[in-house]
Chain A
């Protein structure tokens, strides 16, 4: 039982981080009608920036600047590329984002090399005990920060002018434009928000129990894609549920892998994709998705 609760709590913390990335993914899709595969390299960029800047700037300032750099990179990608390709087929745009992702990723891997960059989280590698259940302090803080950030996001999405403009243009872009909503601005802002969410995810993803920043952080971001898809690509609530589901499933599969040995080691790594396929077979547009994936 203790093991189960521990795996559950760790799964939720991992899921909260996935949810941040998946939310960014969904926000970009809603605002720009782009399935963006840039999140992986943006995550690595954020982690790399935080790690490199921690030495000169100290952890907290480095974290802020690193998150800002991630958001700025997302903004630049939107302005320089996505915005100029408006009206291009959804598939072309998706491939374009894969191209951008590979370019950015290649450069980051070159810079990181074979090192594992350390991010000096002040809370270090300590863990805390809640009853009998143990969790790393980093992951516990991740749950709290991600929870607050996601709550803030949903409040803004529901009540702010940005949220209304965003939802209106996601539903009917042409009519939103006729109402004076600047679609380009809505789209750029969505990328910035996605960049911030991804940067925060990076901050916690490279802390305990993960040893530090290495190119493998990229594959973690990839698991947020099935989270977004299974939740429903156009559903913000779905991204949250999908992220948590994937995180918990992965954590449980990894934790009980001794009982699942017949499936082979490292089963936890593929669980996100298996869960996604299983969900989509039952609900093709995801748990909370309302639309077909390809919009014209």
Chain B
């Protein structure tokens, strides 16, 4: 289980990007993190995978634990070896490397050849199009294929928890649906998933639990299905009016005291 406990992150010692966020990714579950631009979603993933330092960021207080071990101070390579692997926002595949080389790059953390061959077969079974295109340069793939390659590359390390940063970004609706199915399938095969998304429809469709992040704080959290029913999520992330849904909303998900104020900023 991955747990984030009251984490504060600042950039350059000044800008507070994440302010006291706590969340949990239980084993075998898909957890969605929703939020608009600047809500702190990517910062949270950087804190988990140890790349904050590359952006002059720092965890000021709080702890990130994975199966009880504090991973807040680990470097990215160590984090990967512990079983936490991130698919970065914007896919960031290696465009000059072939598809197969991209997958090899994803499997660098392990020396076990048999495990790597197994992982590669799994990736090719999950994404048959990658097998067809394995000797093509990554840059020649379409956006959807690049996203699949980015996910496949991360799966090469056989992660226990897969961290996905906006996999739907810039993709056509049909492809976004496929990405959702892939996330569900990966989860069925036993990998926990932390899914950071702006596309709430897809994210809440596959997630068990969900958190809404707003200007660096958790404003709503709860079971994904129930969260999808709430007024705010309906209005802000699912594109419905939600003017009739006030009563059902507050019941199940925990709503923080700050949420009303924060949300009003967006409805104004």
Q: Which residues of A contact B (CB under 8 A)?
A: 87, 161, 164-165, 167-168, 171-172, 174-182
Contact = CB atoms under 8 A, between A and B. Distances in A.
A176 B105 contact: yes
A181 B92 contact: no
16 contacts: A161-B104, A164-B104, A164-B105, A164-B108, A165-B105, A167-B97, A168-B101, A171-B96, A176-B105, A177-B75, A178-B86, A179-B85, A179-B105, A179-B154, A180-B76, A180-B77
Contacts, number: 70
A181 B54 contact: no
Nearest to B109: A180
Q: Give the one of A167, A177, A179 with max B CB within 10 A.
A: A179
Given A165-B108, A168-B94, A182-B77, A177 B51 contact: yes
B176 interface: no
Contacts of B154: 179
A174 to B, nearest CB: 5
Nearest to A186: B108
Interface string B84-113: 011010001011110001101110110000
Interface residues of B, number: 27
Contacts of A168: 94, 97, 101-102, 105
B153 interface: yes
A174 B88 CA distance: 9
Contacts of A161: 104, 108
Given A167-B94, A167-B101, 14 more contacts: A161-B104, A168-B97, A168-B101, A171-B96, A174-B88, A174-B92, A175-B88, A177-B77, A178-B86, A179-B156, A180-B76, A180-B80, A181-B77, A181-B105
A289 B167 CA distance: 32
Interface in B225-255: none
Nearest to B45: A178
Contacts of B101: 164, 167-168
Interface majority SS (helix, strand, loop, mixed), chain A: helix
Contacts of B157: 179-180
Contacts of A174: 51, 54, 88, 92
Contacts of B104: 161, 164
Contacts of A179: 80, 85, 105-106, 108-109, 153-154, 156-157
Q: Give the one of A161, A165, A174 with max B CB within 10 A.
A: A174
A176 B104 CA distance: 11
A174 B106 CA distance: 13
Given A164-B101, A165-B105, A168-B105, A180 B88 contact: no
Nearest to B100: A164
Contacts of B54: 87, 174, 177
A167 B157 CA distance: 18
B120 interface: no
Contacts of B43: none
B81 A178 contact: no
B202 to A, nearest CB: 23
Contacts of B187: none
Q: Give the one of A161, A164, A171 with max B CB within 10 A.
A: A164
Contacts of A175: 88, 92, 94
Nearest to A162: B108
A168 to B, nearest CB: 4
B49 interface: yes
Contacts of B77: 177, 180-182
A176 B97 CA distance: 12
**9 closest Cβ pairs, A-B complex:** A180-B109, A180-B80, A168-B105, A177-B76, A175-B92, A182-B77, A181-B108, A164-B104, A171-B94
Contacts of A177: 51, 54, 75-77
